[in-house]
Structure 1
Amino acid sequence: MKIKRVIILDLASMGIGESADANRFDSVGADTLGHLLADDSTQITVPALTELGLGNIRYQNPISQIPIVDNPFGSYGKIQIAAPNNQVNSGLREMLDYQAEERTTSILDSVVEVNAVENTVLVLANYQSYLSNQLRAQNVHVNDDTSVWWALHREAISPRPGLIYARMSTLDQLAHQGKKEEYRNELEMIDQNIQRVMNEMYSTDLLLITSSFANDMQSPLTVTREYLPLIAYNPGGQPGKSLGIRRSLGDIGATVAELFNVQVADNNIGHSFLRELL
């Protein structure tokens, strides 16, 4: 099955537990999702994320409200960010940049460059200078996640080849404010929209759900060094399986590059997991 379109959904701020190098970034014990649901009596309903395999990622440290499922719809894994710093936009650049033969460039531009006749790249996000500087991508600056979802659902039903990057911003805002209940409610709303996107997708679409950084509201830090989730779903693909621990968010960009025949240098930090999906 040939994938013609990739949708990257960035649930910015959602970490899933301290990464292996957490001690270097004052993040020992950080766990955005785990602390959010530490009390077993806390209620949350996220059936789409559960069936996609979110709970399976945490098989060593399970959350009762998001259980492991036997046959997840999606392939699942976790990512340890490779950037030597822990800033909000470090993960974003690591995810979407790649090393070409002569320079570092963005997959957002390259997907269009390899086939400007067919491919389009759409960015749905609040203002980020890095995203705005990509000249070939169509940037839709949105002030709230409701607008992101509205635009994403509109695009999902239109089978145009290319790439859609959609960045959620509300979770991070709520994390900054320490609003756990509202964060859980927002996750439920996100889950409902993910289910709707899954229903709108074509068999030639690939949905990648991740997070460009973590923000555990129990930590005094605004960015915590945690593993980040990775879920890959294709309606026409194989049953879900483990993608293991990925060593860089650049694996996402490398996977997109392979799908669209973008040439990546041998020393690129990211490694494609496309063959593990198809």
Structure 2
Amino acid sequence: MYKRVFTIVLDSLGIGEAQDAAKFNDAGADTLGHIAQYWGKNFKIPNLTKLGIGNIRADQPLQDVKVPDQPLGYYGKMQETSVGKDSMDGHWEMMGLPVTEPLGFFPQGFPDELIKKLADFSKREIIVNKPYSGTEVIKDYGEYQLKTGALIVYTSGDSVLQIAANEKVIPLKELYRICEYARSITVDQPYRIGRIIARPYVGTDKTNFKRTSDRHDYALKPTGETDLDRLKQAGFDVLAVGKINDIFSGQGITSGVHTESNHDGMVHTIQNLAKDFHGYSFTNLVDFDAMYGHRRNPKGYGQALMAFDEQLGEFLNQMRQDDLLFITADHGNDPGFRGTDHTREFVPLLAYSPSLKASASLGIRSTFADLGATILANFGVAGNTVGQSFLSQLK
């Protein structure tokens, strides 16, 4: 048994169209493939490479990414079974709770009834109310919002209601209070919105508006027990880094820390290596998704992956013999694809421990829940049989 298990979620790093991609109009999506294609020989991810990221799809090689004969880790990919392709769907499924009831999507904007409730509660004008890029919406409407104190409400192709506000006119405390109210009235049908997201920003005009790291996600509470709950109930530590705490509404978590960036998330994850805990550390690195995937920026995405790879090297060097690391993703968000939304893709699965003496393919896992089942099996905790453990394959 490994004393400590770490999972790092590279938010949105899909690895090629999933088996059901056409159902989501995502045939041809390939987040990592298109990033590698964009960068060519300048794409340097040596630590991910030696763990086996190129081996996952040796039959469809990533451009200029090596496929070592003997990678250090085990490698494979996972198919999502949840009905959606949002971060909440992906993370809940990893922890044994696939999302089977469709969430509410509002591609034409939210109903007048809901907007009126938000306006009455906040006593503020509501503007925009349609799908929009988060950076573009504050560029286009930020000056009006700053002048009037209105609330910028917008959505995307995911089940989200986002509220942007300049901290100069709407303090964080007020923005959070409004988002908490929005959460309280959108749990059930006919709305059933996956996440309410507070999007504070600062600046004086459209030339310098900038979103801050004080984003806060108000996700639906898990609709049942997750593997995090099972670990916590069994007496194990469950450490959350980044938006993990938000995604699970704090449930099943013994300690959570907010992060400001991918780099900060890895700093906290590396700090967890120095802690004497017994259990699970779960990290989400959201910049890949929020800053580069949605903005269709393959250059920035590649730079962020290379920066992560450097910190990954630091992490690997500090691992103990009884540590186990998983690297995966929660969905795709292909910067070389049409639109600005998440893409239905397989996600990578890498497993490594300094104590492993072999490497092999873990194949195609039929659900993200196999990851959680493996973690539970390591700690001798009973699961719900949704996923199948691959612990015995790690030798």
Both proteins in one fold, TM over 0.5: yes
Q: Counterpart of 2:144?
A: none
- After superposition, the Cα gap between the structure-2 partners of 1:64 and 1:129, relative to the gap in structure 1 and judged at 3 Å, is closer
Find out whether 1:29 has 2:28 as its counterpart: yes
Deviates most, 152-161 or 254-263: 152-161
Find out whether 1:258 has 2:377 as its counterpart: yes
Q: Counterpart of 2:60?
A: 61
Tell me if structure 1 keeps the 8 A contact 2:78–2:348: yes
Find out whether 1:142 has 2:232 as its counterpart: no
Partners of 2:330 and 2:38 lie apart in 1 by 26
Which one of 220, 223, 230 corresponds to residue 110 of structure 1? 230
| Aligned amino acid, residue 346 of structure 2 | Y
Q: Greater RCO between the two (CA within 8 Å, min separation 6)?
A: 1
Q: CA deviation at 1:174?
A: 1.1
- After superposition, the Cα gap between the structure-2 partners of 1:151 and 1:227, relative to the gap in structure 1 and judged at 3 Å, is same
| Aligned amino acid, residue 324 of structure 2 | L
- After superposition, the Cα gap between the structure-2 partners of 1:64 and 1:261, relative to the gap in structure 1 and judged at 3 Å, is same
Structure 2 residue ranges without an equivalent (≥5): 99-222
TM-score normalised by length of structure 2:
0.65
Matches within 5 A, 1:118-267: 119-126=236-243, 129-172=246-289, 173-217=291-335, 218-265=337-384
Q: CA deviation at 1:128?
A: 5.5
Cα-to-partner distance string for 1:112-131 (whole Å, 9 max, x where unaligned): 2213xxx3111001376332
Q: CA deviation at 1:89?
A: 1.4
Matches within 5 A, 1:43-122: 43-98=42-97, 104-115=224-235, 119-122=236-239
> Quick check: which has more Rg, 1 or 2?
2
Partners of 1:66 and 1:259 lie apart in 2 by 32
Tell me if structure 2 keeps the 8 A contact 1:108–1:137: no
| Aligned amino acid, residue 17 of structure 2 | E
Residue 54 of structure 1 aligns to a residue whose secondary structure is: coil
- After superposition, the Cα gap between the structure-2 partners of 1:68 and 1:74, relative to the gap in structure 1 and judged at 3 Å, is same
Partners of 1:40 and 1:146 lie apart in 2 by 21
Cα-to-partner distance string for 1:159-193 (whole Å, 9 max, x where unaligned): 42110001001111211112211111110111111
Structure 1 residue ranges without an equivalent (≥5): none
Aligned length: 269
Partners of 2:3 and 2:394 lie apart in 1 by 14
| Aligned amino acid, residue 261 of structure 1 | G
Residue 97 of structure 1 aligns to a residue whose secondary structure is: coil
Q: CA RMSD in A?
A: 1.8
Percent of aligned positions with the same letter in both sequences?
A: 32
Q: CA deviation at 1:8?
A: 0.3
| Aligned amino acid, residue 242 of structure 1 | S
